[in-house]
Amino acid sequence: MLAAGAVDTFTASAGNAFAGLKQWAAGRQDWLFGHFAYDLAAETEPAAGEPAVGESAATSATDPIGFPDLFFFVPEVTIQLQTNNILIGCLHSDPASIWQAISQTTPAPAMPAAASGSAPAVASGSSSSATPVVFTPRIARDEYLSTIDALRRHILRGDCYEINFCQEFFAQPADIDPYAVWRSLSNASPNPFAAFYRIDQRFLLCASPERFLKKTGNDLFSQPIKGTAPRVKQDPAADRRQRDALFQSAKDRAENVMVVDLVRNDLSRICRPGSVRVSELFGIYTFPQVYQMISTVTGEMLPGLDWTDAIRSSFPMGSMTGAPKNRVVQLIRRYERSRRGLFSGAVGYVTPEGDFDFNVVIRSLLYNRGSRYLSYQVGSGITFYSDPEAEYEECLVKAEGIRKAMGDSAGNALGEK
């Protein structure tokens, strides 16, 4: 799907954003494209908007990327790429002229990879030279490890069962060609829920493997990911062992089933009693850099509800928070050193019939061209049995596609030097 141009838009901050979107969308039976940023958690999990008694919030800083909490638009042009057809829809243009313009356009090349051992080089668009971009971790490795220990103590006290803890790597000033970098990211890490998303000077370059929520008719589908193992593609036998080990991993199964239970609870609020089912549990799926453990939860939506009700009841997604959701959102706010912004939110579209499909914004670069701020975040699910060193390494594995897209093979993109 592609959507370009905006004949109508809706923007809102957390507080009354979902109610406003519901009212705005009700009068527009058209394609709608847009996003839900993670900070809408302050609206959907209101008790999590402030720290618990005796705690202080660590993530009081503003989001340097600057995407609004919620944004949707009615596109001027939509293009649907199907198996044997390309469908072009326009509100004020001739589809034939759109096709002619596309046919006469030569795509810009993907960003070339830098030489092994060098800093990642990113083409700056109009210039033929390359500007090195080196990422800095927002949280030092030792602080990350001590934070995981602190979260394990919360779990031991019974505050929560599992929490998704994320860390940011950033570069500023950074001059990049967002489209060239996104093509490089897509080549390095092709994924089913990838997205190139732009609002003015703000860009999301997303290579997500995860679906948040899909609606077809009255049926809802959620596919949370919990459980990651690195690929060993140069050794097929070792690669198979990695896959088998992930499937048998007690820790990853425990993480996955906790999130599945959380999704079941979310969907039960808006689905017919008895209709919520786990159609697949602990499925192992193959991606370019990793194996992922994915489960599928389905349900039949109650009659009379709006599509926005389905999103609101499930947001933010359990795979990026933990359980119980309200308490872990508090702890995320306390311990993470960066605002998540659009990261771990959702980007997608709504059809004129009210069906929709939204991803989970992970494995992504975010860029503000005005402030020249470039960022990505990675995280992992923490349980009492988590090993801090292993969790840190899992974060690096999840960023492998970004490292390759940035032409980095020496660890520079992860602040390891």
pLDDT score, position 414: 40
- The CATH number of the domain where 161 resides is what? 3.60.120.10
pLDDT score, position 403: 77
Task: For residue range 9-32, list pLDDT tens digits in order.
Answer: 999 999 999 999 999 999 898 999
User: How far lies 377's CA from each of 216, 231, 342, 370, 399, in Å?
Assistant: 31, 21, 10, 20, 8
Give the total number of structural domains in the chain: 1
- Cα dihedral value 239, 243, 245, 246, nearest 10: 140
CA 12 and chain centroid, separation: 20
Stretches where the chain sits below pLDDT 70 are 47-61, 110-131, 407-417
Closest by Cα among 62, 67, 135 to 344: 67
Could you list the active site residues? 210, 226
**H helical segments located in 323-399:** 325-335, 388-398
Closest by Cα among 29, 12, 64 to 375: 64
Task: For residue range 37-61, list pLDDT tens digits in order.
Answer: 999 999 999 765 555 555 555 555 6
Say if pTM beats, i.e. exceeds, 0.95: no
Task: For residue range 113-157, list pLDDT tens digits in order.
Answer: 443 333 333 334 433 335 678 899 999 999 999 999 999 999 999
Closest by Cα among 413, 407, 382 to 184: 407
pLDDT score, position 188: 84
pLDDT score, position 411: 42
pLDDT score, position 60: 58
What is the span of the domain harbouring residue 102? 2-414
